[in-house]
Structure 1
């Protein structure tokens, strides 16, 4: 049986975990807001600069050249922005995962202690039931660990794919710009 002190301690632990997760969520949102403000500030500055340049254009050929010169950096900026958002999201998710894993490990330890105490105090003749409970707990722990490994592997695959796509997009962007620079 759990004592009131044990229940209160468990509730305090859960509350601390909740506030820890909330804090990490706010940190992630803060970083996203900061990134978006930086992007908006930069976009506003570049829009003003582009407007000034447009006002000084004398013919259609200059306008076409300006338009072409604006497209390529935009693609690179979009890739860089997406990468920053992905990095912030990944870091926040990683923090959530660490806290969740710590909570699960703590719960497993406590549950293991409860099962151990129950098996020590089990009446004679219940050895088969005790063995069944221990086996079920071990199977549940193994299933959880397997799931954790699968999620980590999937996360690594996604990370590698994002890195590959980002690298490819940047190389394509730079390759597309290279002939224009050589021609200019």
Structure 2
């Protein structure tokens, strides 16, 4: 007797294709957001570079040229920090969407596996209690391992976000200090 009927196999295949399409769309959406950010940043940098060059070339003496150059450091640092924050936000959103999808898939597969184990245990011949208990124990251990790995992953993500926030705050403070000295 087969574990799957052809209808069950077709339904599983359809679900897997839908999940793949959803994951692909989510990934492409993240790349699109990142590409749009990069294009916007490049256009802005080009425009601001031309304006800065005009300001430097428009200086009548060395003092005006140096003053124009000195005024560029702080806005550039702030823009770099803003860009880094936006990239991190895009990456965090994409990671959250992918994690949610993986978690949903895992939960569905876990339910299917548990149903299989329940059916196996119910239909197991007499004397196979040890195998049934081992099978149930394995499923429970796999579930616990997944939940532990998921908790560690969430902690690492929050740790990384905290480090990025602290790093950008430190960079902003350093940029302001450097600008004040200039």
The TM tier, using the shorter chain, reads: over 0.9
Partner of 1:84: 86
2:24 to 22, 46, 65: 22
Gaps of 5+ in 1: none
2:53 aligned with 1:37, yes or no? no
Partner of 1:166: 168
2:41 aligned with 1:49, yes or no? no
Give, in whole Å, the separation in 1 of the partners of 2:114 and 2:121. Answer: 10
Gaps of 5+ in 2: none
Q: CA-atom RMSD, angstroms?
A: 1.3
With structure 2 as the length reference, what TM-score do the two structures score? Answer: 0.94
Offset at residue 167 of structure 1 (A): 1.5
Partner of 1:148: 150
Aligned residues: 180
Offset at residue 179 of structure 1 (A): 5.4
SS of equivalent to 1:131:
helix
* Higher relative contact order, structure no. (Cα contacts within 8 Å, ≥ 6 residues apart): 1
Give, in whole Å, the separation in 2 of the partners of 1:9 and 1:168. Answer: 52
Give, in whole Å, the separation in 1 of the partners of 2:97 and 2:36. Answer: 19
